[in-house]
């Protein structure tokens, strides 16, 4: 059977609400037979360490205080999560254990590892009971019954057998961090060792995958809490991940990867706080391109070692429960040690270790082959410029095909400096993957124009067309689709898809940035935007549905995009290529206040109103427009005015107004009852339409006015006016001077009060629309390098 291992760290289990979230993840992502490895809740291990220190210092009051702290936290979790008998027994058991700890402390019989193990035992027990209470079969396992170390070595064969107790009919909740030795004593796998427990168990159970659920969404180019521009990578190869761990990346720990060596077990780093977001997959060499990373080390000592024995660094790491990095420089071996542990290491190596430098701060640069040297030099230069004294700066080969640089300095660098380093060293390495959905006239023109446009874009950032999507088929080519014969590739290689496989294809793209360009007219497709955002895709839409969706949905999407630092551009959803969104934004940036926005937003209705002079019945003109392809397949869709209403809503939202479609009054350009029935029944009643329009025209002519189908947003009055209707306008107004088929936008603002700002021109057509989408793509690319 295919099983999976899921690991939840301390921060994922810090409160009752977090347990609840974790239980939901387990219920939705795990199957019976899967193992769930847990760390101690929140900072419990730190508290237990504190308890141990008090005990060692014979601080009996301190010991009791810390026990109380532990008790409060656990009692709170238990009382909030469990009910009735389960709660009662859990509290009783906890009480017994804490009393025993107090007694052992009093009798001077506490054992460190045994004490620390409580954190994980409590988590596993509580989570299993909580799942049981939710009516899911679950059982807690103590990893001391599964993982045996003899002489410090894991006993793989025995452990594999022991792991057979993990039951295929339930969720197996296993304690991380702990194991036992040949004498049956508790041992720990090192601080943050639960990830290691998870990969070990995965190996012993022959699991398919291990998911490390944590508090970040994956592995980033640098710490995303410090550098906002940090790039989340979809894939990182194991070798780079291993190196990163040794150089201080807090997400993955060096030992985590060892059990996966020579296996096909998939390792995923994912956020338990946002289980729908895209994650990072740690893959075998060759299955991901080499990425760029910056890591930092604080307060480390540099120690020179004579005659380092094989496996000794591992032993030392175990001793101080901390990952260590060692390197050779000028035929000498050095070890970088967190300053707090240096004395332990020097003692242990009795006479073979010499302290060379103390309290150093470091910058690790992990990067593709052949550029480590150059990047290290560059980093050193930048640091010097900011008055950081450098003690060592060198680049190295870590193992075949894996390079890194290390700069060791006297001072710590703050987040601003890290941001600068990231911008200078990492930003250039990014690529943007483009996925185009909708391959009709505009889509095809967009792709044709892309060939030339790439020259301009690549100057900013390498951009590649990697995916094409139509209503039923898709084509993804992660290395890039050749633009000159895209159609041929589409015809020979596109495959059928459903939403799930489309999202999976986006997830698979190993690019720093991705964008989905929606040139479809499909509402269903627009409903996938939140899923695209969850896959870290920027959005460009010519499609109007998402931009005019209900406020709740729309705001949730905007928020999701904002949280992920993703952009959404939709320049062509109103006025095709005309720069109306730009103008509105730019005016607002300049401190202007828009007071009124007026215009003709539909090319079809613009043409009909301009051409209609009463010489032929209106319906005849309508059929002519239909024949020329100026209208929707059913022209009543145009006459309904709904499209204009959507466009006005998009612009209103651009002005910061919270409106929905219903807030914009809409009067169609036809009698209401003509909207009913099929096209043929409409044709039978066309006289009604002709009479309706002719009345309007006669009335207008009488007053020397002309007919226009007008959208209006007026913010001047106390009450906002937002309406779309057929109007009669004065002949000297900008709206009257419109060329048939053109769009026009008339803006009155503080700066443009009496003399309006007018934007006019073709508001449809494949060339201008495709070019407008290129403008969006250009500005998106531009914003990514900032």
Closest to 70 measured CA to CA, from 110, 40, 38, 37: 40
Q: Which stretch binds ligand ASP (CB under 6 A): 186-194, 296-304, 523-531, 763-771?
A: 186-194
Residue pointed to by tokens 């690991």: 7
Q: Cβ(470)–Cβ(438) under 8 Å?
A: yes
How far is Cα 785 from Cα 781, in angstroms, rounded to an integer?
A: 7
Rounded Cα–Cα distance for residues 738 and 39 (Å): 69
Residue 385 a catalytic site member: no
Find which of Mg ion, ligand ASP, none residue 40 binds, CB within 5 to 8 Å per kind.
Answer: ligand ASP
Q: How far apart are CA 251 and CA 242, in angstroms?
A: 11
DSSP letters along 360-399, please? Answer: EEEEEEEESTT-HHHHHHHHHHHHHHTTPPEEEEEEEEEE
Which region, judged by CB under 6 A, interacts with ligand ASP, from 189-197, 391-399, 447-455, 778-786? 189-197
- Asked if 191 is part of the footprint of ligand ASP (rule: CB under 6 A), the reply reads yes
Name the binder of 775 from ligand ASP, Mg ion, none, CB < 5-8 A by kind: none
Find which of Mg ion, ligand ASP, none residue 635 binds, CB within 5 to 8 Å per kind. Answer: none
Do residues 221 and 426 lie in contact, with contact meaning Cβ atoms separated by under 8 Å?
A: yes
Q: How far is the CB of 479 from Mg ion (least distance, A)?
A: 38
Cα(635)–Cα(622) distance, integer angstroms: 8
CB of 223 to ligand ASP, least distance (A): 18
295 binds, among ligand ASP, Mg ion, none (CB under 5 to 8 A by kind): none
Is 194 a binder of ligand ASP (CB under 6 A)? yes
Question: Closer CB to ligand ASP, residue 270 or residue 708?
Answer: 270
Q: How far is the CB of 10 from Mg ion (least distance, A)?
A: 4
Structure-token match 């807030």, residue found? 663
* Residue 191 binds: one of Mg ion, ligand ASP, none (C-beta under 5 to 8 A by kind): ligand ASP
The nearer residue to ligand ASP, 192 or 541, going by C-beta atoms, is 192
3-state secondary structure of 235: strand
How is residue 342 written in tokens? 């240096």
Alpha-carbon gap, residue 16 to 355, rounded angstroms:
46
Positions 34 through 73 that interact with ligand ASP (CB under 6 A): 39-40, 45
Stretch that binds ligand ASP, among 190-198, 388-396, 433-441, 689-697 (CB under 6 A): 190-198
Please report how close the Cβ of residue 47 comes to Mg ion at its closest, in angstroms: 13
Q: At what angle do helices 112-133 and 44-56 cross, to 10 degrees?
A: 150
Q: Of 291, 567, 647, 696, which is the active-site residue?
A: 647
Output the DSSP codes for 617-672: -HHHHHHHHHHTT-S-SSTHHHHT-HHHHHHHHHHHHHTT----GGGSEE--SS-G
Least gap, CB of 124 to ligand ASP (angstroms): 12
Distance in Å, CB of 429 to Mg ion, minimum: 30
Q: Choosing among Mg ion, ligand ASP, none, which partner's interface includes residue 176 (Cβ < 5 to 8 Å by kind)?
A: ligand ASP
Minimum CB separation from ligand ASP for residue 256, in Å? 10
Residues 292, 329, 346: CA angle, nearest 5 degrees? 105
| 119 contact choice in Mg ion, ligand ASP, none (CB below 5 to 8 Å, kind-dependent) | ligand ASP
In the numeric block, the tokens 């048939």 are attached to: 740
- 682 contact choice in ligand ASP, Mg ion, none (CB below 5 to 8 Å, kind-dependent): none
Residue whose CB is less far from Mg ion, 11 or 162: 11
Shorter beta-carbon distance to ligand ASP: residue 45 or 429: 45
Residue whose token pair is 């895709």:
537
Q: Which residues pair with 281 in a beta bridge?
A: 235, 268
Interaction partner, residue 361 (ligand ASP, Mg ion, none; CB < 5-8 Å by kind): none
The reply to whether 581 sits near ligand ASP by the rule CB under 6 A is no
Specify which residues 721 forms β-bridges with. Answer: 714
Contact positions with ligand ASP (CB under 6 A) in 675-694 = none
Q: Considering the complex, state which of residue 139 and residue 175 has its C-beta at the smaller distance from ligand ASP.
A: 175
In the range 163-182, which residues lie near ligand ASP by CB under 6 A?
Answer: 176-177
Q: Is 105 helix (H, G, I), strand (E, B) or coil?
A: helix
For the CB of residue 258, give the shortest distance to ligand ASP in the complex, in Å: 15
- Which member of 13, 63, 180, 193 binds ligand ASP (CB under 6 A)? 193
CA distance 144 to 111: 15
Nearest to 672 by CA among 660, 684, 662, 685: 685
**Smallest separation (angstroms) from ligand ASP to the CB of 197:** 8
How many residues of this chain interact with ligand ASP, rule: CB under 6 A?
Answer: 12
**Of the candidates 220, 135, 206, the residue with the CA atom closest to the CA atom of residue 166:** 206
* Residues near Mg ion (CB under 5 A): 9-10, 39, 192
Strand partners, 705: 730
Minimum CB distance to ligand ASP smaller for 321 or for 396: 321
Residues 97-126 that bind ligand ASP (CB under 6 A): 119
Q: What is the DSSP string of 453-470?
A: HHHHHHHHS-EEEEEEE-
For the annotated catalytic residues, the residue numbers are 647
Q: List residues binding ligand ASP (CB under 6 A).
A: 9-10, 39-40, 45, 119, 176-177, 191-194
């Amino acid at each position: 059977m295919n099983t999976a291992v899921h690991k939840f760290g301390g921060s994922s289990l810090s409160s009752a609400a977090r347990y609840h979230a974790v239980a939901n993840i387990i219920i939705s992502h795990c199957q019976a037979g899967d193992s769930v490895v847990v760390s101690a809740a929140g900072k419990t291990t730190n508290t237990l360490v504190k308890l141990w220190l008090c005990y060692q210092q014979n601080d009996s009051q301190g010991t009791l205080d810390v026990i109380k702290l532990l008790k409060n936290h656990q009692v709170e979790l238990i009382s909030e999560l469990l009910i009735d008998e389960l709660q009662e027994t859990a509290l009783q058991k906890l009480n017994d254990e804490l009393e025993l700890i107090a007694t052992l402390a009093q009798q001077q019989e506490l054992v460190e590892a045994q004490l620390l193990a409580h954190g994980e035992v409590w988590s596993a027990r509580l989570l299993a009971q909580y799942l049981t209470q939710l009516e899911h079969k679950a059982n807690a396992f103590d990893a001391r019954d599964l993982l045996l170390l003899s002489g410090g070595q894991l006993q793989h064969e025995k452990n594999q057998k022991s792991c057979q107790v993990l039951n295929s009919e339930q969720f197996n909740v296993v304690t991380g961090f702990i194991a036992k030795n040949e004498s049956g004593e508790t041992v720990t796998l090192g601080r943050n060792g639960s990830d290691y427990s998870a990969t070990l168990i995965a190996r012993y159970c022959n699991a398919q995958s291990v998911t490390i659920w944590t508090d970040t969404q994956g592995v980033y180019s640098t710490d995303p809490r410090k550098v906002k521009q940090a790039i989340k990578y979809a894939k990182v190869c194991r070798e780079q991940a291993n190196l990163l761990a040794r150089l201080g990346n807090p997400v993955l720990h060096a030992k985590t990867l060892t059990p996966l060596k020579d296996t096909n077990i998939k390792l995923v780093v994912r956020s338990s706080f946002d289980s729908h977001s895209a994650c990072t997959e740690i893959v075998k060499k060759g299955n991901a391109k080499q990425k760029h990373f910056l890591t930092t080390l604080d307060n480390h000592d540099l120690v020179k070692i004579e005659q380092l024995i094989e496996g000794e660094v591992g032993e030392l790491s175990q001793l101080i429960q901390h990952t260590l990095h060692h390197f050779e420089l000028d035929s000498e071996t050095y070890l970088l040690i967190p300053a707090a542990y240096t004395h332990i290491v020097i003692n242990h190596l009795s006479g073979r270790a010499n302290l060379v430098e103390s309290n150093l701060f470091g910058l690790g640069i992990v990067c593709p082959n052949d550029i480590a040297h150059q990047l290290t030099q560059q980093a050193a230069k930048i640091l010097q410029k900011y008055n950081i004294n450098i003690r060592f700066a060198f680049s190295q080969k870590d193992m075949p095909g894996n390079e890194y640089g290390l700069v060791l300095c006297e001072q710590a660098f703050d987040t601003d400096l890290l941001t600068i380093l990231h911008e200078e060293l990492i930003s250039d390495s990014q690529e943007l993957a483009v996925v185009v959905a909708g391959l009709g006239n505009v889509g095809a023109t967009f792709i044709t124009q892309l060939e030339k446009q790439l020259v301009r874009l690549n100057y900013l950032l390498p951009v590649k067309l990697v995916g094409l999507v139509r209503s039923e088929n898709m084509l993804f080519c992660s290395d890039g689709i050749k633009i000159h014969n895209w159609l041929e590739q589409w015809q020979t290689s596109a495959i059928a898809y459903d939403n799930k496989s489309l999202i999976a294809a986006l997830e698979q793209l190993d690019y720093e940035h991705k964008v989905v360009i929606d040139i479809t007219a499909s509402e269903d497709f627009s409903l996938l935007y939140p899923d695209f955002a969850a896959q870290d895709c920027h959005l460009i839409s010519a499609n109007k549905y998402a931009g005019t969706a209900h406020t709740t949905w729309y705001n949730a999407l905007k928020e999701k995009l904002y949280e992920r630092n993703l952009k959404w551009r939709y320049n062509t959803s109103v006025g095709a290529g005309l720069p109306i969104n730009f103008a509105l934004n730019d005016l607002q940036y300049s401190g202007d206040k828009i007071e009124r926005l007026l215009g003709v937003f539909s090319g079809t209705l613009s043409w009909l109103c301009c051409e209609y002079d009463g010489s032929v019945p209106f319906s005849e003109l309508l059929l002519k427009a239909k024949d020329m392809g100026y209208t929707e397949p059913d022209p009543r869709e145009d006459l309904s005015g709904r499209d204009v209403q959507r466009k006005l809503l998009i612009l209103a939202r651009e002005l910061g107004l919270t409106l929905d479609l219903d807030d914009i009054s809409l009067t169609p350009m036809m009698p209401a009852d003509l909207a009913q029935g099929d096209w043929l029944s409409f044709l039978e009643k066309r006289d009604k339409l002709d009479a309706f329009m002719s009345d309007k025209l006669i009335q207008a002519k009488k007053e020397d006015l002309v007919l226009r189908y007008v959208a209006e947003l007026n913010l001047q009055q106390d009450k906002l006016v937002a309406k779309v209707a057929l109007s009669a306008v004065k002949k000297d107004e900008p709206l009257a001077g419109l060329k048939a088929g053109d769009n026009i936008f008339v803006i009155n603002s503080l700066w443009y009060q009496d003399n309006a700002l007018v934007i006019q021109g073709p508001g449809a057509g494949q060339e201008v629309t495709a070019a407008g989408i290129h403008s969006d793509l250009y500005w998106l690319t531009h914003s990514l390098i900032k």
